[in-house]
Copies of this chain bind each other. A is one copy, B any other.
Amino acid sequence: MSLLTVGSVAFDAIETPFGKTDKIIGGAGTYIALSASFYEKDQKLVSVVGEDFPKEMLDTLASKGVDLDGLQIKQGEKTFFWSGRYHNDMNSRDTLVTELNVLEHFDPIIPASYQGVEFLLLGNLSPQVQSSVIERLTERPKLIAMDTMNFWMDIAMDDLKKTISMVDVLIINDEEARQLSGEYSLKKASKVIRAMGPNYLIIKKGEHGALLFNEDKVFYAPALPLEEVFDPTGAGDTFAGGFIGYLASTNDISFDNMKRAIIAGSALASFCVEKFGTEKLLNITKQEVEDRIEEFVSLTNFEMVQTVG
């Protein structure tokens, strides 16, 4: 099937306890498309960059099957730039710089060739941009998933709730689920949030794995215990990209297949954090991904036997 991703293509500068980078390529759209490309070969991207964005990365994306007709290149303008510094525990970070640049007035354009796309992933962007993409598709995709973040809950909750009501799968982290629902218990939060519209809720818990909620069903995918988390940037987007790429390539949106898709996303995210930025994602093979998925299988696999008493 075909997959459309809407998300930022950007520059990042990152500081972690292990080192710092100059401007490197980042952005939710970049991570999602790279991650999804391990599964889905028919991808489309809606995004915007400035004239300063390197053509090499666009060629790389194209070589992985990502159609870039929906990527606007704004002459005379600059690409979105974010800079941040992670704290020692890697679970929190400070934003040092945010330059919106081309994202400030981003008006997503859907090329005619993109119409009829079956899977849609809305990366973290303003909820108005996200909903406008759905509205500009002449036919509703088979599955719409979206990411968002607490920033939009703080400044645009009404718009956000409207967009959330239009999607099938919401992907957020535990802190965001608590803020969005007003409930501390993630089980209670999942009920409140699914009542807002999405039938499926994925709650990412970083080093503690991810939860999938649907009706009365719950799935808990672990995270692989890692020796070192080198740079968490893009891990959530990589997870989402692996998830939606797996679903699109298998064209199966059953709960059982969503579990597999979450494991695929978790495996890809576990690679992402091992190097700065997209470096690791650009240098692993499909076989390495399959091997890591096997690690997840043995990490969680157990079989109960009948006990006496």
Contacts and interface: CB of A to CB of B under 8 A. Distances in A.
Contacts of A297: 304
A41 interface: yes
A121 interface: no
A87 to B, nearest CB: 11
Contact of A188 (B39, B209, B227, B299): B227
A41, A89, A218, A298: which has the most chain B beta carbons within 10 Å?
A218
Interface string A204-232: 01001101000001111111011111000
Question: In the assembly, how many copies of this chain are there?
Answer: 2
Contacts of A227: 185, 187-188
A299 B302 CA distance: 12
A187 B228 CA distance: 9
Interface string A284-300: 00100000010001111
Interface of A: 38-39, 41, 88-89, 184-188, 190, 205, 208-209, 211, 217-223, 225-229, 246, 249-250, 256, 259-260, 263, 286, 293, 297-300, 302-305, 307-309
Given A41-B309, A186-B225, A188-B227, 18 more contacts: A39-B307, A39-B309, A89-B184, A185-B225, A185-B228, A188-B228, A208-B209, A209-B209, A218-B225, A218-B299, A219-B300, A220-B223, A222-B222, A222-B300, A260-B304, A260-B305, A263-B302, A300-B302
